[in-house]
Amino acid sequence: MASSLKGPTPQQHDGSALRIGIVHARWNSTIIEPLLKGTKDKLLACGVKEKNIVVESVPGSWELPIAVKSMYSASQVQASSAGGGSAGDLLASSTTDLTALSSSTASAPFDAIIAIGVLIKGETMHFEYISDAVSHGLMRTQLDLGIPVIFGVLTVLSDEQAKARAGLLSGSHNHGEDWGSAAVELGVKRGA
């Protein structure tokens, strides 16, 4: 089957032994929600167990790098000590409590973490600065920590572009599916 001009050539990998973290921003939630669903549905379709998918949220994309680092660090601490907490969307509350995030993540280290955000260009340069900082921050985080951090941040110029990439327009593709696939592939290959 010819693959499209864009998007990676698909591969099949067994995610049944993986533990995947997802950190998502809450800005532009009407786009975030379908992206998050597409990501989770793909993880499940690849065999990742529901109990091994840990989801946390932060206010915006700017907070994604530190939240990924906190999620990773907490799981490392939990994995090295007895017991474990129960995962939950700790940061759904109005404040960002990274300490609480650290205590919420269940035990056992992650094989990959997916960072999801939606940045939409506005009238100012805010978009450019956040997009640049977050992309470099997430790249640095994965290289520093040695864990795959999947770049699930849309940096788009319009609401229509965002909807198209969340699979909300007729015939459009949900990019969350690509992020789920990438997390499974990198998680499997990392542990190989």
Ligand X SMILES: O=Nc1c(NC[C@H](O)[C@H](O)[C@H](O)CO)[nH]c(=O)[nH]c1=O
Q: Closest Cα to residue 187, out of 134, 112, 116?
A: 112
* Interacting residues with ligand X (CB under 6 A): 25, 27-28, 59-63, 117-120, 126, 130
13 has catalytic annotation? no
| Residues 6 or more apart whose Cβ sits within 8 Å of residue 7 | 173, 178
Q: How far is the CB of 61 from ligand X (least distance, A)?
A: 3
Q: Which of 13, 24, 126, 136 is catalytic?
A: 126
Q: DSSP of 118-184, one letter per residue?
A: EEE--SSTHHHHHHHHHHHHHHHHHHHHTS-EEEEEEEESSHHHHHHHBT-STT--BHHHHHHHHHH
Q: Are 56 and 145 in contact (CB under 8 A)?
A: no
**Residue with the two structure tokens 């939950």:** 88
Q: How far is the CB of 55 from ligand X (least distance, A)?
A: 16
Q: How far is the CB of 64 from ligand X (least distance, A)?
A: 8
Cα 43 from Cα 173, distance rounded (Å): 16
Question: Nearer to ligand X by C-beta: 117 or 176?
Answer: 117
Question: Nearer to ligand X by C-beta: 60 or 109?
Answer: 60
Q: How far is the CB of 11 from ligand X (least distance, A)?
A: 30
Question: Nearer to ligand X by C-beta: 15 or 65?
Answer: 65
Classify the C-alpha dihedral 141-111-98-79 as positive or negative: negative
Residue nearest to ligand X (CB): 60
Q: How far is the CB of 93 from ligand X (least distance, A)?
A: 15
Question: Nearer to ligand X by C-beta: 46 or 113?
Answer: 113
Question: Nearer to ligand X by C-beta: 75 or 96?
Answer: 96
| Residues 6 or more apart whose Cβ sits within 8 Å of residue 155 | 119, 127, 131, 135
Question: Which sequence positions are flagged as catalytic?
Answer: 126
